[in-house]
């Protein structure tokens, strides 16, 4: 590594200085002259008709500028929030796509659904007045859980979605699976729930709308992971504003975890209202609104079966899943329980036949969409819990059944029976590295030591593979995506040799300002502090798809490499001219252009100066300037994979589970910045552990959110997790992108929940427990122990 | 938050006077009151901030025990050398309330006046033969808590201090709500000569003394004496975090653990 800040260096995040000293600029920090404040009036009912809205009193309250409703939006021909993905049911019919309006029109469908917006001089005035808006609701029966939603007598969330079904989809070869089950020696079965989660980004959502009447231009500043996508969706489908008159800025964003990918109604409301009242309008969610209205994650109820031969080799997998989509389709909702879930059900195993059915239903709850991992944690959790059960059924050690069924490294590239083609991966190697990290051999002794103090110890494994680097546009399009999924980059050398990179990726905690700058520093040998990464402003960056699905480096980084290739090509031409050599004689290394076999050379800085001060420049062959743009559309998904091992200790007297050790071995392909990668893994693991032990979003039957604050929704704390042991290996680089990178943003979350739950079940196995739904709360654990007391194994002592 | 007027009196008399305003409310550490205001669940006309009244602050060693001013923050009690020496279990209790931020704001007076069924201090107030001192009288700790979020205080009464009796031995163990860090169940055991007091918070609508556990420990002051002593789940709290049955079970478990922390 020649450049101390190049590829492979643990460069400390350049952006942290501003974040840690409170100098980040978030949407709510922006203040405009004459700015007003919006507060939404939200439904307290899960399901109700809105028979009338009386704003008389609110309008008379101090400071109130306007009270606007769905009817006002309708009169202005404001459209429905669009869905970016279309799924077709088994019978070929398209999914049900009911209207989803920024302000409800005549009916509300979840607690938090917005019915009106109050705009006032101050936020407090808007809040005061919002309480004075009289909404005449007629409550309707509601349905909150997916299992209830499909019962015959359930209330209908949308009249045009019979049985509350949005789509009833399937993937795989049913006949082959049925045939395999018919000849199976062993069958493992499981029923499980993947618990619903609230994303809980540190920064709540916010949006600031502005309209400039002098030129008809709108600006939306918003907490988004993908400003260009918001501009397209909101401009083209909701408000009818052409792109050249709409600028969307996503400044510093304090975490997203998926919840800020989507186009939300509030963004359209403030943009539309800014023109209507002729003043900027800002809205910032409070934490209660975040709980109620950020798109939630997960919420699956599944049944799965694995057919095996007599040696525990997997013959076929059959899965049926009920997915809760909430009250309306959020932007990418239909793709999550389908193409980001069922396609991953092969996991790391060479199961030859797989059939998955997914029924997705509407309920009177907040919309559900991508949340860190998005479909893949659900797949991993299901497979890995089922594989543990399969080990029991087949009488094999849990590591052995995995080894026996791994897709071997030699079989790569490997075509799964569920659409994906894995490019690289050495799954046995991951496991081999992981076992000594947790001293697997010493586990029995540790378990005995725990037992001596009255505690139960368990160890659990999870292997995972995910499809990242989303996505080849042609594949995504064939699967129902209504957008391309490439990424863009522009590399602009300035006359004195400093560089600005414009990327369509968006950083909301991932550290792009550092890692992307490292790529430039490495390639051109420029000091890292001379590289600026610009993201998040549609007026500056080329059209790009933003950040989610662990795609920034794999897709955005690849676009950056392509743009740098173009810069280098042009620079070589300039160098050849300046050095009076043939282009083919120019050798390029880290930004130095040398005539082969001579000491004649130029640095990229000299070339950049020449490009902008073209006194002696090959003008008939080249334009001045050194500024290139590229779009990169991936050829395949990338496939990060790994093996997570968790050790827990349970106190049977209270049911409290403590994670005592956790090791994660991950294959992310090539690593650009090990420090950033480790940080991503740590955060992901904590979120995965959170789902397994603490986090649970609960609605009661009437659709009221019971876990609407941190007093009831339990987030994991630093003290709840052990010091992690994290390893990566780089000998299985991605074969189809120029950096060989796979992505690391979601991996921790994907593997961790399954590893924890497998450890919990292992600890409780003495009590005959084979499964426990997440989260493994103290009472839940205590109850299964009570139900089985006295445990055979312990009673024998 | 609705608008209110804010006052910061320097003496108890000024505070008592200010509290006469209709719908005036005292502000302790604000850890309960401010979130309530932010959620617009209360609408006081005036907030009387007690933080500038020197008489309400601090820990004093008095004959037979401790007197702690109502506006003494949990962190101060937790770290106080005097509390650690005289009633270490009380310092331990205060030092484990909520989290660091909460402990550096929340106050003893605010905690007991609020009488949250899941708060820790009520267990100590009932177990440690206390006297709650107010601006007009002294209320025995045993009579102070009257129900869920209810106390013997008059609406305009100000807690000024609590006097705790030094026990021979005492211990406190708490099963924390993993989300809020409040007590799902907290048990304070205190021994005064032949008398054993076991005060339970979190489990019921209000702090209570567990007779069966007291009897068992009075007969044999060892954790093992509690083996098989069950607490009735009837009337205990139930919520999404813990059923009444589980809470009943935890009372015995926490009582045993409190015995393990005796000092
Ligand atoms: C996240 C979180 C976690 C917490 N965890 C715990 C926990 O684990 N255990 C625990 O016990 N508590 C816990 N608490 C509560 C906290 O420790 C405080 O004790 C509690 O909020 C009240 O004290 P305060 O000083 O903040 O009172 P305030 O919120 O200011 O006031 C509360 C009430 O008491 C009244 N009041 C205040 N002072 C007096 C006085 N001197 N005389 C009469 N009335 C008065 C006020 O008018 C108000 O009605 C937690 C709080 C939070 C926010």
Local confidence band at A495 (pLDDT 50, 70, 90 cut-offs) = very high
Q: Is this structure's pTM higher than 0.95?
A: yes
Same domain, yes or no: A598 and A569: yes
Cβ A43 vs Cβ A115: under 8 Å: yes
State the pLDDT confidence band at B209, using cuts at 50, 70 and 90: very high
Same domain, A571 and A668: no
Q: Which residues of B touch A710 (CB under 8 A)?
A: 179-180
Mean pLDDT of A145-167: 96
Kindly give the number of the ligand 1 atom that is closest to the alpha carbon of B122.
11
- Would residue B205 be called left, alpha or beta, if left means φ above 0 and alpha means ψ between -120 and 50 degrees? alpha
The average pLDDT across A523-549 equals 96
Residue A209, domain extent: 31-140+202-255+260-293
Query: Could you please report the per-residue DSSP string of A381-412?
Result: HHHHHHHHHHHHHHT--HHHHHHHHBPPGGG-
pLDDT over 50 (residue B259) = yes
**pLDDT at residue A631 tops 70:** yes
Q: Is the pLDDT of residue B122 over 70?
A: yes
B101 CB near a chain A CB, below 8 Å? no
Name the residue with tokens 């999404």: B240
Q: What is the pLDDT of residue A788?
A: 87
Atom of ligand 1 nearest to the CA of B74: 17
pLDDT tens-digit readout, B144-160? 999 999 999 999 999 99
Residue B242, Cβ neighbours under 10 Å: how many? 25
The secondary structure of A719-767, three-state, reads: HHCCCCEEEECCCCCCCCCCCCECCCCCHHHHHHHHHHHHHHHHHCHHH
Q: Is residue A208 located within the same domain as residue A60?
A: yes
- Are the Cβ atoms of B249 and A715 closer than 8 angstroms? no
Report pLDDT for A277: 98
How far apart are the CA of B158 and the centre of ligand 1, in A? 14
Ligand 1: centre distance to CA B113 (Å): 8
Average pLDDT, chain A: 96
Q: Does domain B56-165 have CATH number 3.30.465.10?
A: yes
Residue B226 Ramachandran class (φ > 0 left, ψ -120 to 50 alpha, else beta): alpha
Cβ B121 under 6 angstroms from ligand 1 = yes
Contact A468, A551 (CB under 8 A): yes
Nearest-angstrom CA–CA distance, B185 and B180? 13
| Inter-chain residue contact B179 with A124, CB threshold 8 Å | no
Could you tell me where the beta strands, DSSP code E, fall in A142-242? 165-172, 186-194, 206-212, 217-222
Q: Are residues A551 and A679 in the same domain?
A: no
Domains B56-165 and B169-259 share a fold: no
Both tokens of A626, joined, read 């050194």
Percent above pLDDT 70 for chain A: 99
Residues A380 and A413 in one domain: yes
Same domain membership, residue A526 and residue A402 = no
Number of Cβ pairs closer than 8 Å across A and B?
Answer: 43
Nearest 10 degrees: Cα torsion A564, A569, A570, A573: 150
pLDDT category at A795 given cuts 50, 70, 90 is very low
In this structure, what token pair is assigned to residue B66? Answer: 């401790």
Determine the average pLDDT of the residues in B71-76.
Answer: 98
Cβ contact, residue pair A712, B242, below 8 Å: no
- For residue A669, what pLDDT band results from cuts at 50, 70 and 90? very high
Per-residue pLDDT band for A789 (boundaries 50, 70, 90) equals confident
A609 and A687 belong to one structural domain: no
Compute, in angstroms, the gap from residue B104 CA to the centroid of ligand 1: 11
Q: How far is the CA of B15 from the centre of ligand 1 (A)?
A: 18
Judge whether residue A723 has pLDDT over 90.
Answer: yes
pLDDT band at B239 (very low <50, low <70, confident <90, very high): very high
CA of A682 vs chain B CAs: smallest distance (Å): 21
C-alpha of residue B88 to centroid of ligand 1, in Å = 22
Pocket flag, ligand 1, residue B122 (CB < 6 Å): no
Cα separations in angstroms, B47 against A717, B23, B36, B41, B56 = 33, 9, 13, 15, 17
More confident residue, B103 or A620: B103
Co-location of A760 and A694 in the same domain? yes
CA distance B167 to B127: 9
Measured CA distances, A768 to A189, A649, A771, A793 (Å): 16, 17, 9, 10
The tokens of A200 are what? 């809980």
Contacts of A707 in chain B (CB under 8 A): 240
Q: List pLDDT tens digits, range A30-76.
A: 999 999 999 999 999 999 999 999 999 999 999 999 999 999 999 99
- Tell me if chain A has a CB within 8 Å of the CB of B100: no
Residues A771 and A654 grouped into a single domain? yes
For residue A3, the model assigns a pLDDT of: 86
Residue A604 sits in a domain whose CATH number is 3.30.365.10
B102 lines ligand 1 (CB under 6 A): yes
B252 in ligand 1 pocket by Cβ < 6 Å? no
The answer on A766 and A649 residing in a single domain is yes
B85 contacts: CB under 8 Å, gap ≥ 6 = none
Residues 27-56 of B with CB under 8 A from A: 38-40
- The reply to whether residue A131 touches residue B178, judged by beta carbons under 8 angstroms, is no
- Would you say the CB of residue B181 lies under 6 angstroms from ligand 1? yes
Q: Is residue A461 part of a domain?
A: yes
Both tokens of residue B40? Answer: 């617009």
Phi-psi region of A440 (alpha: psi -120 to 50; beta: other; left: phi over 0): alpha
Helices marked H in chain B — which ranges? 12-18, 33-38, 74-79, 81-86, 88-94, 100-103, 108-114, 121-127, 141-144, 211-219, 244-260
Q: Is A466 within the bounds of a domain?
A: yes
| Residue where a domain stops, chosen among A632, A655, A685 | A632
Contact B110 CB / ligand 1 (< 6 Å): yes
Q: Is the per-residue pLDDT at A1 higher than 90?
A: no
Last residue of a domain, one of A580, A603, A632: A632
- The residue whose CA is least distant from atom 5 of ligand 1 is B98
Identify the three-state secondary structure at position A519.
helix
- Tell which of A236, A270, A293 closes a domain: A293
Q: What is d(CA A326, CA A361) in angstroms, rounded to the nearest whole number?
A: 7
User: Is residue A477 in some structural domain?
Assistant: no
Give the integer Cα–Cα distance in Å for B98 and A119: 37
pLDDT at A445 over 70: yes
Q: Which homologous superfamily does the CATH classification assign to the domain defined by B169-259?
A: CO dehydrogenase flavoprotein, C-terminal domain (3.30.390.50)
Answer whether residue A797 shows pLDDT above 60.
Answer: no
Beta carbons of A128 and B2 less than 8 Å apart: yes
How many residues are listed for chain B in this entry?
Answer: 263
Atom of ligand 1 nearest to the CA of B56: 41
Report the share of chain B in percent with pLDDT over 70.
100
Would you state the structure tokens that stand for residue A634, as one six-digit string? 């991936």
Structural domains of chain A, count: 3
- The finding on whether B33 has its CB within 6 A of some atom of ligand 1 is yes
Residue A64's CATH number: 3.90.1170.50
CA separation (Å) from A7 to A628, A703, B155? Answer: 22, 50, 67
Q: How far apart are CA A483 and CA A338, in angstroms?
A: 17
User: Each residue of A355-396: pLDDT tens digit?
Assistant: 999 999 999 999 999 999 999 999 999 999 999 999 999 999
- Domain membership of residue A305 (yes or no) is no
B246 min Cα distance to partner chain A (Å): 7
- Nearest by CB to residue A712, choosing from B38, B240, B250, is B240
Where do the domains of chain B lie? 56-165, 169-259
A644 and A791 co-located in one domain: yes
Interface confidence, given as ipTM, is 0.95
Whether A661 and A760 map to the same domain: the answer is: yes
The response to whether residue B159 sits with its C-beta less than 6 Å from ligand 1 reads yes
pLDDT at A471: 87
How far is residue A78's CA from residue A246's CA, in Å, rounded to a whole number? 16
Cα→Cα distances A538→A244, A325, A517, Å: 10, 30, 20
Q: Determine the atom of ligand 1 nearest the C-alpha atom of B70.
A: 41
Residues in B closer than 8 angstroms to A654, CB to CB, are 175, 250, 253
Report residue A279: phi and psi, to 5°.
Answer: -145, 155
pLDDT at A790 (0 to 100): 62
pLDDT tens, position by position, A673-696:
999 999 999 999 999 999 999 999
Beta-carbon count within 10 A of B195 CB: 12
Tokens, residue A421: 């083609």
B165 CB-near residues (< 8 Å, 6+ apart): B64, B65, B128, B129, B130, B192
Residue A214, in any domain of the structure? yes
End-to-end Cα, chain A, rounded Å: 58
Q: Which pLDDT value is given to residue A582?
A: 96
- State the best of A651, A659, A706, A714 to mutate against chain B, taking most chain B CBs within 10 Å: A714
> Does residue A522 surpass a pLDDT of 60?
yes
The mean per-residue pLDDT over the stretch A660-665 comes to 98
Residue A187 domain-assigned? no
């Amino acid at each position: 590594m020649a450049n101390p800040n190049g590829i492979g260096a643990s460069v400390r995040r350049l952006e942290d200085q501003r974040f840690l000293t409170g100098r980040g600029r978030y949407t709510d920090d922006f203040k405009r002259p004459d700015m007003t404040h919006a507060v939404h009036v939200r439904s307290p009912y899960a399901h109700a008709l809105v028979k009338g809205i009386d704003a008389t009193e609110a309008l008379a309250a101090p400071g109130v500028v306007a009270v606007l409703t769905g009817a006002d939006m309708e009169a202005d021909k404001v459209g429905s929030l669009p869905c970016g993905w279309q799924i077709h049911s088994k019978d070929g019919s398209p999914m049900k796509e009911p209207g989803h309006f920024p302000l409800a029109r005549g009916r509300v469908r979840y607690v938090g659904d917005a019915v009106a917006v109050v705009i006032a001089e101050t936020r407090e005035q808007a809040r005061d007045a919002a309480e004075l808006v009289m909404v005449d609701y007629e409550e309707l029966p509601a349905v909150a859980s997916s299992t209830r939603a499909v019962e015959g007598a359930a209330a209908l969330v949308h009249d045009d979605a019979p049985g509350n079904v949005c789509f009833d989809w399937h993937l795989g070869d049913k006949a082959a699976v049925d045939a395999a089950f018919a000849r199976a020696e062993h069958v493992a079965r499981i029923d499980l729930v993947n618990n619903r989660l609230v994303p809980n980004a540190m920064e709540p959502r916010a949006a600031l709308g502005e309209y400039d009447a002098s030129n008809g231009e709108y600006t939306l500043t918003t907490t988004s992971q993908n400003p260009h996508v918001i501009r397209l969706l909101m401009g083209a489908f909701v408000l009818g504003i052409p792109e050249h008159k709409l600028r969307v800025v996503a400044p510093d964003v304090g975490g997203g975890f998926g919840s800020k990918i989507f186009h939300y109604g509030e963004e359209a409301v403030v943009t539309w209202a800014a023109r209507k009242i002729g003043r900027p309008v800002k809205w910032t969610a409070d934490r209660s609104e975040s709980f109620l209205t950020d798109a939630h994650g997960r919420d699956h109820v599944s049944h799965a079966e694995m057919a095996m031969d007599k040696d525990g080799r997997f013959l076929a997998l059959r899965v049926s899943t009920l997915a809760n989509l909430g009250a309306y389709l959020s932007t990418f909702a239909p793709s999550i329980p389908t193409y980001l879930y069922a396609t991953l059900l092969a996991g790391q195993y060479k199961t030859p036949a797989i059939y998955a059915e997914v029924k997705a239903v509407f309920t009177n709850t907040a919309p559900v969409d991508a949340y860190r991992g998005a479909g893949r944690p659900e797949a991993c959790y299901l497979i890995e819990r089922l594989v543990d059960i399969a080990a029991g059924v087949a009488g094999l050690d849990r590591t052995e059944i995995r080894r026996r069924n791994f897709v071997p490294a030699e079989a790569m590239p490997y075509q799964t029976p569920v659409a994906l083609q894995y490019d690289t991966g050495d799954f046995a190697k991951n496991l081999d590295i992981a076992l000594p990290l947790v001293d697997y051999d010493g586990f029995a002794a540790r378990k005995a030591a725990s037992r001596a103090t009255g505690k139960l110890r368990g160890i659990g494994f999870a292997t995972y593979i995910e499809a990242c680097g989303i996505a080849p546009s042609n594949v995504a399009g064939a699967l129902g995506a209504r957008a391309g999924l490439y990424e863009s980059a522009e590399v602009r050398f300035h006359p004195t040799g400093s560089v600005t990179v414009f990327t369509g990726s968006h950083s909301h905690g991932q550290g792009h300002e550092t890692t992307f700058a490292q790529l430039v520093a490495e390639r051109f040998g420029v000091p890292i502090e001379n590289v600026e990464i610009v993201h998040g402003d549609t007026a500056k960056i080329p059209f790009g798809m933003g950040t989610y699905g662990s795609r920034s480096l794999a897709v955005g980084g690849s676009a950056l490499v392509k743009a740098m290739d173009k810069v280098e090509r042009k620079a070589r031409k300039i160098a050849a001219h300046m050095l009076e050599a043939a282009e083919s004689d120019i050798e390029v290394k880290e930004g130095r252009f040398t005539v082969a076999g001579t000491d004649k050379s130029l640095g990229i800085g000299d070339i950049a100066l020449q490009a902008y001060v073209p006194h002696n420049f090959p003008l008939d062959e080249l334009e001045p300037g050194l500024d290139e743009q590229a779009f990169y559309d991936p050829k395949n998904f990338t496939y990060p994979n790994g093996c997570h091992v968790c050790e827990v200790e349970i106190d049977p007297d209270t049911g409290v589970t403590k994670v005592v050790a956790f090791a994660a071995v991950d294959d992310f392909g090539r690593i650009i910045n090990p420090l950033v990668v480790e940080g991503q893994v740590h955060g992901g693991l904590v979120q995965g552990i959170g789902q397994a032990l603490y986090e649970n979003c609960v609605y009661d039957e009437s659709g009221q959110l019971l876990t609407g604050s941190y007093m009831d929704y339990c987030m994991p704390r630093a003290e709840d997790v052990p010091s992690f042991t994290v390893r990566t290996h780089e000998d299985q680089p991605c074969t189809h992108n120029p950096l060989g990178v796979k992505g690391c943003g979601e991996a921790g979350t994907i593997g961790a929940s399954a590893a924890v739950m497998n450890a919990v079940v292992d600890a409780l196995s003495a009590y005959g427990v084979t499964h426990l739904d997440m989260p493994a709360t103290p009472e839940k654990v205590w109850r299964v122990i009570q139900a089985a007391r006295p445990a055979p194994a312990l009673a024998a002592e | 938050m609705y608008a209110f007027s804010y006052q910061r009196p320097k003496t108890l008399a000024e505070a008592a006077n200010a509290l006469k305003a209709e719908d005036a409310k005292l502000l302790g550490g604000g850890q309960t009151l401010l979130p309530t205001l932010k959620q617009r669940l209360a609408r006081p006309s005036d907030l009387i901030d007690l933080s500038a009244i020197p008489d309400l602050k601090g820990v004093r060693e008095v004959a037979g025990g401790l007197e702690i001013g109502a506006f003494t923050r949990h962190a101060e009690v937790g770290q106080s050398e005097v509390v650690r020496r005289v009633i270490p279990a009380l310092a331990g209790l205060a030092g484990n309330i909520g989290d660091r931020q909460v402990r550096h704001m929340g106050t003893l007076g605010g905690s007991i006046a609020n009488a949250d069924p899941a708060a820790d201090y009520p267990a100590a107030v009932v177990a440690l033969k206390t006297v709650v001192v107010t601006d007009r009288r002294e209320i025995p700790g045993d009579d102070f808590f009257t129900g869920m979020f209810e106390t013997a205080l008059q609406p305009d009464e100000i807690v000024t201090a609590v006097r705790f009796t030094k026990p021979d031995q005492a211990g406190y163990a708490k099963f924390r709500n993993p989300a809020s860090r409040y007590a799902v169940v907290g048990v304070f055991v205190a021994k005064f000569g032949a008398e054993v007091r076991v005060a339970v918070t979190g489990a019921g609508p209000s702090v209570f003394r567990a007779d069966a556990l007291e009897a068992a420990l009075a007969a044999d002051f060892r954790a093992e004496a509690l083996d098989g002593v069950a607490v009735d789940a009837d009337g205990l709290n139930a919520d999404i975090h813990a059923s009444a049955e589980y809470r009943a079970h935890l009372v015995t478990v926490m009582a045993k653990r409190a015995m393990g922390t005796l000092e």
